[in-house]
Amino acid sequence: MENTTNNHATPATIGDVIDGTKERFLEIAPTDMKYNAERGFAVQLLNNNAYLLQVAKEAQHSLQEAIINVAAIGLSLNPAEKLAYLIPRNVKAGDNTWKSKIFLEPSYMGMIRLATNTGTIKWVQAAAVYANDSFVDNGAGEKPTHNYNAFDPINDRGEFVGVYCVAKTNEGDFLTTIMPAADVYDIRGRSESYKKYQSGVWKTDFIEMAKKTAVRRAFKTWPRTDNARMLQLAEAVEISNKNEGFEPILTEPYLRQVTAGQKGYFDELIETSNALGMFIFMQSLDVQASTNLYHSFPKGQKGKYQKIADTLVNKGRGMIDQYRELFIEATQANDETEIERLVNELSGDELECVFLEVPADVKALASGYQ
């Protein structure tokens, strides 16, 4: 969210810096979010953390952007609710130079609050899985079975093996997203603070970050609406992705319209039950385009076809995971025949999507067979 506040004059206090956002904050904040309360929470958070306060004073524009993002996504900074935080991050300012800035970081609980506020999701749960747990994926539309002794110390449950997110829709379906530990570690490795210093929230709050990562990935498969709450969730996911160094999900937030070609292709994917194509196609769209497509079905048939589309997206996500594992196994076994078979089996778009998920050495080897 771009901030247009003039920041040339040096305000007297950190509260004055925040007050530079008041007009914009009041324009975009939900009606139940009060500026004075959020200003107070922000000042409290800053005054309780000397380093955070120092960064905020040195990078006032970034603090203002973070406060405006509070209004944009509607997550309070109230420390008691633990929905969102102000955090310092180092960003590249030039060749081998770094600058600290303030960012808004939605929490795992904040993401869930926004998801359930959309009206399409009844509840969301994300949980870590350990080696000694019993975990069974029961397939699309079903909730997985995860059993363990909740009173066991974490160390007794073995090493971390993955994380999953389950969302229950208003229709009673379960949408499950599963991420093995390797995927979580790969995403953690994209964090500049962890990669460079082995520090930051991935070091201090690994499980919460893992669960939030699963929620972000699961978001891509959830039903869409065109209400303001869905836009807030999309904005929160985009902010969180940017904070982790990812490309934003939304390239033109909420503005892009569905073309006749997109609608025709969408219908074709449903008619042919093309799960892989549906997953890739829906990933390429922003929230407004996805919403328009979900509402493009004939009256009385929306629920039926929306469920079909969601099932295809979920299945397609699973297929990408399967191909990723097949490519990794073939590369480790130096099985050139299998690598070539996999490459020839997938289209260019499908390969590109799979290659986003595999290690660089696997991609480099497989690319030679295109």
150, pLDDT greater than 60: yes
Question: How do 134-136 and 84-94 pair as beta strands?
Answer: unpaired
137, pLDDT greater than 70: yes
pLDDT grade for 251, boundaries at 50, 70 and 90: very low
pLDDT grade for 238, boundaries at 50, 70 and 90: confident
Q: Give 164-199 pLDDT, tens digit per residue.
A: 999 998 888 889 999 999 999 988 887 766 666 566
pLDDT grade for 43, boundaries at 50, 70 and 90: very high
Q: Give 191-235 pLDDT, tens digit per residue.
A: 766 666 566 678 788 998 899 899 988 888 888 776 777 788 888
Can you give the pTM of this predicted structure?
Answer: 0.58
361/20: higher pLDDT: 20
Spatial distance between the Cα atoms of 339 and 370, rounded to a whole number of angstroms: 10
Q: 249 phi and psi, to 5 degrees?
A: -70, -40
pLDDT grade for 5, boundaries at 50, 70 and 90: very low
Beta-bridge partners for 160? 130
259, pLDDT greater than 50: yes
pLDDT grade for 4, boundaries at 50, 70 and 90: very low
pLDDT grade for 246, boundaries at 50, 70 and 90: very low
List the Cα angle 108/67/61 in 5-degree steps. 125
Pick from 209, 208, 186, 188: nearest CA to 197: 188
What mean pLDDT is reported for the chain?
A: 83
Query: Of 66-80, 259-273, 301-315, which has the strongest mean pLDDT?
Result: 66-80
Pick from 154, 151, 149, 176: nearest CA to 165: 176
